[in-house]
Amino acid sequence: EDQVTQSPEALRLQEGESSSLNCSYTVSGLRGLFWYRQDPGKGPEFLFTLYSAGEEKEKERLKATLTKKESFLHITAPKPEDSATYLCAALMDSNYQLIWGAGTKLIIKP
Amino acid sequence: EAGVAQSPRYKIIEKRQSVAFWCNPISGHATLYWYQQILGQGPKLLIQFQNNGVVDDSQLPKDRFSAERLKGVDSTLKIQPAKLEDSAVYLCASSARLAGGYEETQYFGPGTRLLVL
Which pLDDT belongs to residue A28? 87
Beta strands A70-75 and A62-66 are antiparallel
Q: Tell me if chain A has a CB within 8 Å of the CB of B102.
A: yes
E strands, chain B, in order: 5-7, 10-13, 19-24, 31-37, 44-50, 53-56, 65-68, 75-79, 88-95, 107-108, 112-116
Q: Do B91 and A102 touch (CB under 8 A)?
A: no
Which pLDDT belongs to residue B98? 61
Residue numbers in B near A96 (CB within 8 A): 102, 104
Write out pLDDT tens, residues A8-36: 999 999 999 999 999 999 988 898 999 99
Closest Cβ opposite residue B56 in set A31, A45, A97: A97
Residue numbers in A near B105 (CB within 8 A): 34, 46, 49
Average pLDDT over residues A50-67: 95
User: Mean pLDDT across chain A, nearest whole number?
Assistant: 95
Write out pLDDT tens, residues B82-101: 999 999 999 999 998 665 55
Q: Do A97 and B107 touch (CB under 8 A)?
A: no
Q: Tell me if chain B has a CB within 8 Å of the CB of A54.
A: no
CB pairs under 8 A between A and B: 50
Which pLDDT belongs to residue A95? 78
Write out pLDDT tens, residues B42-75: 999 999 998 889 999 999 999 999 999 988 899 9
Which CA distances in Å does B1 have to A86, B93, B97? 24, 15, 17
Closest Cβ opposite residue A44 in set B44, B104, B108: B108
Which pLDDT belongs to residue A94? 81
Closest Cβ opposite residue B45 in set A42, A43, A97: A97
